[in-house]
Chains A and B, each alone.
Chain A
Amino acid sequence: MMIDILITLFAVIFSLVVVFSNRTVVSAFSLLLALLCIGGAYFQLGANFLSAVQVLVNAGAIAILFVFVMMLINLEHPVLNKDKNKFKLILGAFAILVSLGVLAIVINTNLESFSKDFLLDNSMKTLFGKLFEVYYLPFELATMLLLGAIVSVVVLTKQDKEPLE
């Protein structure tokens, strides 16, 4: 129980550092630690495979690409695009709506039965059976969410066109 609380606490703290730190490399390493904390949380729930994959894929491959790119183009103090426009407002509202929706689902789900049914049986066969049969639609929707995230990142970071000098 103590470990669960600690892991949650660290995950939240590091996630906040990711968003609010001014130094990009510190942000990236906090992201790594947050991902590791989530891996630890999976492990505490008994989902060994998910935990290993979380560390292997998210922390070992994806976060390292973030760090790699930041170091490659030397993004010590990034120039943030701070002007407000309507598009950002809509996207922000959308993000808040999605988060609230996820929260509502989490509150409405009976987590006890969920963890017993899904997480505690950690054989890969059961896991993928569930993923590709019962939870197929949510799984595909999650990939759509990722696609949306990629598009919004491109839109957010796009610089305004300036005439060549």
Chain B
Amino acid sequence: MLETLIEIIAKIVVILALPLGSLPLIIHVERRGAAFIQKRLGPNRVGPFGLLQPLADVAKFMFKEEVIPSHVKPFFFTAAPVIALTFAILPLACIPVTGPFQFMGREIFPEVFRSEMGIFFAFAASALGSYGILLAGWASNNKYSMLGALRACAQMVSYELSLSTALVAMVFLYGSNDIHQMVTAQSGYWFGFIPKWGFFVQPVAATLFLVGIFAESNRLPFDLAEGESEIVAGYHLEYSSMKFALFFMAEYIHMIGLSALFIILFFGGYSVLPGMDMLVDLIPGSLPIFQLISLVTKVALMIWFFVWVRWTLPRFRYDQLMNLGWQRLLPLGIVNLIVTVLFVYFRN
């Protein structure tokens, strides 16, 4: 009983500490990356390479005055950032950071919430994240906030469809919805050097999914929700200090969660990186550690990709966004799904 309790608490601590602890680093990478791409220096004064800048920002957020404007609906106004952050963190509970392993005679599954339908639960939880944004826009009682929230919501609902078609295609292809079995199906190599990752089998689904997660996390080129040249700052216009920071954190954690899902579906999840197998053979019992390192590396690369795209591509216009979602990606996703189903049917 006590051991189970310790196990659960340890899992929760690890799952929470990894993204929350790396959050300042990610924000730093984003700012320095932006500066690098735009040939600027970026924040480099506080600490070595400006690494302490995020801590200074946190201190600033904590001590700033928390303004609740008189025209807002206070209950929903306060609830909105909490809801956004909660539903950003929840999907992480279903994501395994290593494979199942033995520890002190117990078999341990590393995800907090172990279920065969884990991937669907992760998606369900992340889909609810748009309520936080919607509520924030409505409770702010400000037309710019409202417009931002409506845009974000319409965009998330539209792109969730093509995202789901990609997800379902991959579930058919792997023949399972259990994350561990999906990862097992992707371990191994073709011709000895190409990893059997889903990306090489289903590049169309991977592209759909990638576009989908950019839209879901409201990142450029899909950040119409906060298009600063059109609607000031969008849904978080009226928010200040820690409440604003919660939205900020929610965005980045949402990014981490969706990246992890993308990697599980298309880049082998926690299966070790090519070339790491030798190291695993060298040190017995080190497989979970290398799996963790592999997953973290892959997610870090994904985050860098997010930063890279953000400072490379311009924002879509609203009609372009809707055309892309409904007229291009959704039909493509459905055709891809049908082809995949036929392929799986005739393969068996």
Tell me the interface secondary structure of chain A in the complex: helix
CA gap between A59 and B116 in the complex, in Å: 21
Contact (Cβ within 8 A) B127 A60: yes
Given A49-B120, A67-B134, A71-B149, A59 and B128 contact (CB-CB distance below 8 Å):
yes
- Indicate the size class of the contact surface on chain A: 20 to 34
Contact (Cβ within 8 A) A52 B154: no
| B293 → chain A closest CB, angstroms | 30
Contact (Cβ within 8 A) A60 B150: no
Cβ-based interface call for B20 (8 A)? no
CA gap between A49 and B177 in the complex, in Å: 10
Question: Quick one: closest B residue to A55, CB to CB?
Answer: B124
Cβ-based interface call for B157 (8 A)? yes
| CB-defined contacts of A37 to chain B, threshold 8 Å | none
| CB-defined contacts of A124 to chain B, threshold 8 Å | 177
Tell me the interface secondary structure of chain B in the complex: helix
| A126 → chain B closest CB, angstroms | 13
Cβ-based interface call for B56 (8 A)? no
| CB-defined contacts of B137 to chain A, threshold 8 Å | 71
Within 8 A of B (CB), among A1-38: 25, 29, 32
Contact (Cβ within 8 A) A55 B117: no
Given A60-B160, A71-B134, A71-B138, A49 and B124 contact (CB-CB distance below 8 Å):
no
| A33 → chain B closest CB, angstroms | 11
Number of A-B residue pairs with CB-CB distance less than 8 Å in the complex they form:
63
Within 8 A of A (CB), among B5-63: none
| A67 → chain B closest CB, angstroms | 6
Residue among B117, B134, B177 making CB contact with A64, cutoff 8 Å: B134
| CB-defined contacts of A68 to chain B, threshold 8 Å | 134, 150, 153-154, 157
Cβ-based interface call for A65 (8 A)? yes
Question: Quick one: closest A residue to B120, CB to CB?
Answer: A52
CA gap between A103 and B168 in the complex, in Å: 35
Task: Mark contacts of A68-86 with chain B using CB atoms, 8 A cut-off: 1 yes-contact digit, 0 otherwise.
Answer: 1001100000000000000
CA gap between A52 and B150 in the complex, in Å: 25
| A44 → chain B closest CB, angstroms | 13
Given A52-B117, A124-B177, A65 and B157 contact (CB-CB distance below 8 Å):
yes
Residue among B120, B131, B160 making CB contact with A53, cutoff 8 Å: B120
| A18 → chain B closest CB, angstroms | 16
Cβ-based interface call for A61 (8 A)? yes
Question: Quick one: closest A residue to B137, CB to CB?
Answer: A71
Cβ-based interface call for B77 (8 A)? no
Within 8 A of B (CB), among A117-138: 122, 124
Using a CB–CB cutoff of 8 Å, the interface residues on chain A facing chain B are 25, 29, 32, 39, 48-49, 51-53, 55-56, 59-61, 64-65, 67-68, 71-72, 122, 124
Using a CB–CB cutoff of 8 Å, the interface residues on chain B facing chain A are 76, 115-117, 120-121, 123-125, 127-128, 130-131, 134-135, 137-138, 146, 149-150, 153-154, 157, 160, 177
Listed by A's residue number, 6 A-B pairs whose Cβ atoms lie within 8 Å are A48-B121, A53-B120, A56-B123, A64-B157, A67-B131, A122-B117
Interface pairs A-B: 9 shortest CB-CB: A60-B127, A52-B120, A55-B124, A56-B124, A48-B117, A52-B117, A52-B121, A71-B138, A52-B124
